[in-house]
């Protein structure tokens, strides 16, 4: 989609959206573009300024590394606690949780990732799991 600033032969200015530059040309050639004020069919594109976001002073910009609300602060603290006191097992979460439950792995707090159907199967088998309100960082090396 593209927005054009337009002006009719009577001097009325208005904006309109078009699928593309070619769509505007085709509609204008067919006489389907008209002024919404007076109905004049002679319409031309006018000089348009690019849509540029206003620069924000550095002190007014949000600090993305700091919580913006009490809820964000509480979630950040929860994440810190989980990461400090649990072992990240990555995509092996379901298998590791099952091994701990069955006594085949040492008992410890873990967190990781699993597919929804695997999490549902753990719950159905009586293995307590809960979703986290954040995505764990993937450790690739």
pTM, two decimals, is: 0.52
**How far lies 102's CA from each of 45, 49, 105, 110, 122, in Å?**
72, 67, 8, 15, 12
108 Cβ contact partners less than 8 Å away, ≥ 6 residues apart:
86, 87, 100
pLDDT in tens, the chain (141 residues): 888 999 999 999 999 999 998 999 999 999 899 998 899 999 999 987 676 666 666 666 667 777 788 888 899 899 999 999 999 999 999 999 999 999 999 999 999 999 999 999 999 999 999 999 888 776 665
d(CA 101, CA 20): 59
Residue with tokens 């979460």: 93
Domain extent listing, the chain: 2-45, 64-124
d(CA 98, CA 127): 7
d(CA 76, CA 40): 59
């Amino acid at each position: 989609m593209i927005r054009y600033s337009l002006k009719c032969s009577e001097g009325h200015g208005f904006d309109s959206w078009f699928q593309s530059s070619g769509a505007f040309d085709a509609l204008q050639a067919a006489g389907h573009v008209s002024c919404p004020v007076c109905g004049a069919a002679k319409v031309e594109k006018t000089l348009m300024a690019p849509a540029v976001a206003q620069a924000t002073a550095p002190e007014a910009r949000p600090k993305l590394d700091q919580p913006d609300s009490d809820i964000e602060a509480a979630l950040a603290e929860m994440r810190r606690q989980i990461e400090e006191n649990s072992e990240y097992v990555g995509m092996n979460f379901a298998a590791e949780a099952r091994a701990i439950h069955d006594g085949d792995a040492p008992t410890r707090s873990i967190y990781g990732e699993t597919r929804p159907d695997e999490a549902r199967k753990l719950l159905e088998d009586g293995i307590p799991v809960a979703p986290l309100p954040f995505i764990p960082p993937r450790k690739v090396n």
